[in-house]
Structure 1
Amino acid sequence: MIGTSLPEYIFIRICIIGLSLITPVSVTYCILHLISFIFFRTGVLKPSFLPDAPCPVEIWFAAETCFYLLFFLPYSSYLQRPAVHPTLGSRAERKELFEKCHETIPNPERYIRGWFKGAPLEEIGRDQVIIFFGWAFLGKDTFDDEESEELEEYVSGLESLIGRPFHPGNGKAKSIRLTLDPVPLQYRSLLWYCTVGVVDLSIFVRLPLSGFRFYRTSLLSTLHHLPLRPQALLTRHHSPARHVTYWHRPHTSKTHRPIVFLHGIGIGLHPYIPLLASINASVKGLAGDDGQPTDGQIGILAVEILPISSRLTHSALSRQQFVQEMTLILEKHEYLKDAGFVLVSHSYGTILSTHLIHSPIRSHIRGILLVDPVTFLLHMPDVAFNFTARVPKSANHHQLMYFAGRDVGVAHTLARRFFWAENVLWREEVGGNEGIMTTVSLGGKDIIVDAECVGRYLAGLDGSSEGEGDGSKNNKGEGDGNTNEVNGWKNKEWTGKGLEILWSENCDHAQVLERERKRRPLVRAMRRYSRIE
C-alpha cells in the first residue's frame, strides 16, 4: 500500500488520470477519423482536416476503441445481473446471528451511521433501517408479513441498543447494500491489462527459482483469461480443479507440515513472493530461527484467486465450489493426512480461509495465520464503507478505490459474490478453545478494517475505538483510557499458543509484508505452526 505523502498523492493521481484518459482519447480519435474519412469521400473536407498519428499508435487506439465498445460495454451490463443469495437458515438461526452481532457492537450509533454512509442519525428513517436489515439478514428488499415482523423485531432491538427510536418513514439517507446495489466497476484499458500481463510473466520467472511448479486448469479455461497467459501452457502440471490454478513447492520434510497460502485483492501472488521465499530460505537443510533442524523443504501451496487479481476471468467461486475444488487440490498433494497443514492468508484470502475453517477441511488445519483479516466483525460497516462509499482523500485512499475497489473483477466479487453472513469468522471459532493455534496480524493504520476494534474483540475486551461515526475509524484509542490494562494486548509476547495478536502500530493494509523486518514475526509464526511436535 502506498503512503500518504504529497509526492505519493501527486504520483497516484497522475497514474489514475492517465489510465482513465486512454479510452476517451482512443474513442475520440477513432470517431473523428471516421467522420473525417466519410466527409473526405464526399468532398466536404480536405485530407489535412485531421493529422494522423503514427501507425502503431493508430492500431493501439483502434484496439482500445473496439475493446471498449464491442466487449466492455455489453460485459459491464452482463455483470450487473442480480446476485444469487445463499439461504441464511431458519428464523431462529437468523435471530441468533442478529444477537451475536449486536453483542459485539461497541458503538451502536457509529454502527448504523457507517452503514448509511456517514449520514446523521436524524436523516436515517425507520423504513430504511428495515430495508437495510432486509438485505443483511434476508438478502432481499421485498418481504412478506412474517418477514416484516422479524425485521421489526431487529429494528426495535437496535433502537434499544442506541437508546432512541428512529424517525418514522424513509428519511433522506440510503444504506449500503452490497449485493443489491449496482456493481461500481470502472473501465480498464487494454494497456492496463498488458501491464498486468507483464507482472504475471515476472511471477512465472521468479517463483520457479524458489522451487515452485505451476498447475494450470484446462486449455480452454486458460484461454478465457485476460491478459492471456501463454506461459501457462508450457507447464506439464495440471490442476485437478476446474477453476483454481496454483503454485506448488513439493513437501519433503518429515519434521514440518506444509503450508497453504491464500492471497488478497491486488495483482495476484506478485507482492507475496518475498514472504514465500522467506519460508523457503530457512529450510534448505539448515536450522530455522526456532533452533529446530529440518530434514527437507516445507511444502507450500500458493493458490491463485484470479477474479480478484486485476484480470478478466470467471466469476468468484461460491463457498461450496471453492471448498470442493480446494479439497481436490489438497487430496492430490496429500495435504489431508494426519500431520495436516498450516493455513496462511492475507486480506480477502482470509474470507476463503473462513470457508475452509467452516468445512470438513478444518480437521486437517493445525495452525492459522491471518494477516490484515477482513473476516472478523463483518457486520460492522468498515470494510463495506471503505471499499464502496468513502470519498478518497489521501494517496492510499485513491489507490484502494481505483486499483482495488473499482477493478472489474473485484467490484463484481464484492457486489455479487460476497455474502457477509457466510464470510464472517467469530473469535470462538479459532484459538485455544477450538484446538487450532491462531495468530492474527493487524496494522494500526489499516485503511480497510478498524484494526483497533478487531484487536480488542479478539483480545476479549469490551468496547473499541469510537471512530468518527461515518464508517472510518480512529485507531489512537482516544476515549478508551489508553492504560496498560486496556492496550496491553498490543504488546503481549508471542508464544505460539492459543489465539494471539501481532500488532504493527505504523503499518497500513499490506505494509507488514513489504519489508523483511516486518515479515519476520509472520515467518516465525508459520515455522512454529509448521513444526511437528
Structure 2
Amino acid sequence: MTIDISEIPDAPKRRTIDFYTVLLFLVAPLWCAVPLAWGFVIYALHTGKVWSYSLPWLTLFSVSLFEMIFSIYYHHLSKQLSGPPKNGHGNTTEIQLAFHRILKVGLASLPPDGDDEEVDRPGSPNEAIVQLEPDDPRAIEFRNTLRTWFRREPWSTVRLHQVRQWIYWAIFNKDLPAPETLPQAHKVVLDESLDLLQKRLGKPIPEGSNSSVKPILLNLDKPNILWRPLTFYVLTAIGNLCLDLWYQKSHNFRRGSLDGLEYLVRIPKKWRSSDRHPRPILFFHGLGLGLVQYHNFLSRLVRDFSDRPLLIILQPHVSQDIFHPKYLAPTPRKQTTAALARLLVSFGWADLEPAVSGCSTEDEQKGAIYAPKRRLSGVTALSHSNGSYAHAWMLKDYPHMLSRSCFVDPVTFCCWEGDVCRNFFYKTCTTGFELMVRYFVSTELGVVNLLQKNFDWSSNSLWFEEIPNARDPSKALFLFGDKDSIVATNRVKLYLRSHGIRKGLWSDPQGHHGEALLAGGDGCRLVYDWLREREL
C-alpha cells in the first residue's frame, strides 16, 4: 500500500542554543535600541536634565532624538506597505500558462537522477494534464508539495474555499471576492484552473471552508516589518559608500546608471571584444547589505580577474539603502532587462538581437539558437540567492546575451513549490541562522516591499528549458548547500537532475545559505575555476 505522505504532519523542531544566543546578544540589543532611545529622550526632557548634560551625554541625547524621529518615519513607511498591492502579477494569459506549467512538473517519466548525455528528454512541458488516481505517486507527491502553501497542514484538512483563494491570488494577485461580485471572465479562469488542479491532485478538494488552514497569499498577507535603529542604516550606508569609492579609486571601476539601473563597471584598457580575450563577468548580488556583504568575494574577483571586464549590478532596494530615492521603488522586470540589454550593447559585449546559426541537436529541439554577430559570444553571468531572479529575467528576455550562467544558492528554481516563501517569511525560526535571516533580512522594510508587495512569481520562476545549454557544465553551473534553511535544496536538485543536469550540479553536504561564496571554501574555489573556464 502506498503511504500518503501528504497526510503526515511535519516533525516539530525545537529551538537550538544558538537561537537564544543570537536573540540575546545580537537581535535583542538592536531591536531594543529604538524603545531605549524613546525612553531616554522622554526621561531627559521630563526631568529637565538635558540642559545640564555634558558633551558625551548631550551627544547620546542627540543620537537618541534622531533615532526617535527616524522610528516615526520608519513607521510611516511601514504603513504604506500595509495596503493591497497596486499591481498585478502580470499578463493574465502568461500567468495561466505558468500555472499550467506548474501542474505539469513531475508528470513526465524522467529518472530522478538524470545524466548529461545528449538524449531526447522532452520533460514536463510536453505532458498532458490528465485525471490521476488518488494513490498515484505523482498525485501524492503533488499534494504533499502543494500543502506547503497551506502551512504544511495535512492535505485532508484543506478545503475548497481556501484553495480558490490561493488560485485567485496566484493568477490575479487579489483577494477572492464574493461569488456575486466575481467577474465572469475571472470565474471562467478560476474554474478551469481549479478543474486542472484537482486532476493533478488525484482527488476532488472537499467543499466548504476551514478557517484554521489559511493559505499563504504572499502579496496580500500583512507584512511583518521589524524596526531597526537609524544608526544601523547609517553605518551600512557609510560602509557601502566607502567600498564604492574604493572600487573606483583603487580598481578603476566607474559608477553609472541607465534607465534606473545602477552599476559599477571596470573594463581593462587592453581588453577587446574578441575570442582572444576572456568574456566579461556580470554579477547579481543577493539580499543583505550590498557591497559590504559581498566585499570578500568581490575583492578577490576583482583581483584575480583583472584581465576581463566586470559589471556589478547594484540593487539599493535589497541592500538596506534607506536613503536611496528608489529604496521603495524597485525597477520592474521589463525595464530592468531592457536597460541591462542596452548597457551590454553599449559596452560592445553582446548584440541586441540574436543571430541564427548552426546548432546542436539539443538547441534545435529548444527551437531557439543564438549566436552573436560579433566574435564575442555574450557575457558570463553569476548570481547569488535573490540575484538569481534578475538572472532569470535576462534568460527569459535576452538569453543570447548570457553565454554562460552560474547560480549560487538560487531561489528562482522550484519557487512555485512555496518552500522559499514559507521558509523566508512564515516558518517559525528555530536556529540562530534562521533568526538572523528573519530579523536582518526578511523583516527589513525594503526587502518586504520587494518580495511581498512587488513579487511576481511567474517572472521569478525559471524553468529548465529556459536555460541555454543547461546540461553543459562548462556553460551552466549550479551550487547549493544541503543544509540551506531557505532553499529546499533536495527538491531543486531533484528537479535539475531529473532533466539531465549532473556534472554542473555541486552541493556542500554541510553548507548553509551563502556559504558557497565564502573565501577559501570549496564552493568559492569551484566558482573561480569555472569563471576561468577550466574543465570541472
Distance 1:7 1:98, change over 3 A: closer
Using the alignment, how far apart are the partners of 2:441 and 2:304 within structure 1? Answer: 33
Distance 1:529 1:417, change over 3 A: farther
Using the alignment, how far apart are the partners of 2:19 and 2:520 within structure 1? Answer: 22
Distance 1:54 1:347, change over 3 A: same
Q: Contact 1:341 / 1:365 at 8 angstroms: preserved in 2?
A: yes
- Secondary structure at the aligned position of 1:370 is classed as strand
Residue pairs, 1:195-210, within 5 angstroms: 195-204=235-244, 206-208=246-248
Q: Does 2:280 correspond to 1:258?
A: yes
- Secondary structure at the aligned position of 2:338 is classed as helix
Residue 434 of structure 1, CA deviation: 9.6
Residue 156 of structure 1, CA deviation: 3.5
- Secondary structure at the aligned position of 2:394 is classed as helix
Residue 34 of structure 1, CA deviation: 4.1
- CA deviation vs aligned residue, 1:459-506 (integer Å, no higher than 9, x gap): 1269xxxxxxxxxxxxxxxxxxxxxxxxxx7xx5x4xxxxx2122221
Q: Does 2:457 correspond to 1:420?
A: yes
Using the alignment, how far apart are the partners of 2:18 and 2:189 within structure 1? Answer: 52
* 1:243 match: 260
- Matched to 2:348, the amino acid is E
Q: Contact 1:366 / 1:529 at 8 angstroms: preserved in 2?
A: no
- Secondary structure at the aligned position of 2:103 is classed as helix
Q: Contact 2:257 / 2:263 at 8 angstroms: preserved in 1?
A: no
User: With structure 1 as the length reference, what TM-score do the two structures score?
Assistant: 0.77
* 1:79 match: 81
Residue pairs, 1:45-124, within 5 angstroms: 54-69=57-72, 71-83=73-85, 84-90=87-93, 93-104=94-105, 107-124=141-158
- Secondary structure at the aligned position of 1:516 is classed as coil
Distance 1:353 1:127, change over 3 A: same
- CA deviation vs aligned residue, 1:60-79 (integer Å, no higher than 9, x gap): 1111111112x222222223
Distance 1:155 1:309, change over 3 A: same
* 1:335 match: 349
Distance 1:116 1:334, change over 3 A: same
Using the alignment, how far apart are the partners of 1:250 and 1:6 within structure 2? Answer: 48
Residue 280 of structure 1, CA deviation: 4.1
Considering only aligned residues, what root-mean-square deviation do their CA atoms show, in Å? Answer: 2.9
- Matched to 1:182, the amino acid is K
Q: Does 2:404 correspond to 1:367?
A: yes
Residue pairs, 1:211-226, within 5 angstroms: 211-215=251-255
Residue 205 of structure 1, CA deviation: 5.8
Residue 145 of structure 1, CA deviation: 3.0
Q: Does 2:507 correspond to 1:503?
A: yes
Distance 1:269 1:55, change over 3 A: same
* 1:520 match: 525
Using the alignment, how far apart are the partners of 1:62 and 1:283 within structure 2? Answer: 47
Residue 212 of structure 1, CA deviation: 4.3
- Secondary structure at the aligned position of 2:462 is classed as coil
Distance 1:67 1:353, change over 3 A: same
Q: Contact 2:415 / 2:461 at 8 angstroms: preserved in 1?
A: yes
Work out the percentage of aligned pairs sharing the same amino acid: 21
Q: Contact 1:443 / 1:506 at 8 angstroms: preserved in 2?
A: yes
- CA deviation vs aligned residue, 1:348-395 (integer Å, no higher than 9, x gap): 111001111122x32222111111111111211111101110111101
- Secondary structure at the aligned position of 2:417 is classed as coil
Distance 1:77 1:58, change over 3 A: same
Q: Contact 1:258 / 1:299 at 8 angstroms: preserved in 2?
A: yes
Distance 1:60 1:305, change over 3 A: same
More moved, 520-529 vs 51-60? 51-60
Distance 1:516 1:5, change over 3 A: farther
Residue pairs, 1:134-533, within 5 angstroms: 134-141=168-175, 142=177, 143-171=182-210, 172-204=212-244, 206-208=246-248, 211-215=251-255, 239-251=256-268, 252-253=270-271, 254-283=276-305, 297-312=307-322, 313=324, 314=326, 315-336=329-350, 338=374, 339=376, 340-359=378-397, 361-432=398-469, 437-460=475-498, 494=503, 500-518=504-522, 519-528=524-533
- CA deviation vs aligned residue, 1:252-271 (integer Å, no higher than 9, x gap): 44421111100000110233
Distance 1:122 1:434, change over 3 A: closer
The answer for unaligned runs of 5 or more in structure 2 is 1-14, 107-137, 352-373
Using the alignment, how far apart are the partners of 2:95 and 2:244 within structure 1? Answer: 46
- Matched to 2:88, the amino acid is H
Q: Contact 2:144 / 2:155 at 8 angstroms: preserved in 1?
A: no
- Matched to 2:25, the amino acid is I
Residue 527 of structure 1, CA deviation: 1.7
- Secondary structure at the aligned position of 1:459 is classed as helix
Using the alignment, how far apart are the partners of 2:63 and 2:96 within structure 1? Answer: 56
Using the alignment, how far apart are the partners of 1:508 and 1:444 within structure 2? Answer: 7
- Matched to 1:346, the amino acid is H
- Secondary structure at the aligned position of 1:85 is classed as coil
- Matched to 2:528, the amino acid is V
Residue 410 of structure 1, CA deviation: 0.4
Q: Contact 1:179 / 1:419 at 8 angstroms: preserved in 2?
A: no
- Matched to 1:102, the amino acid is L
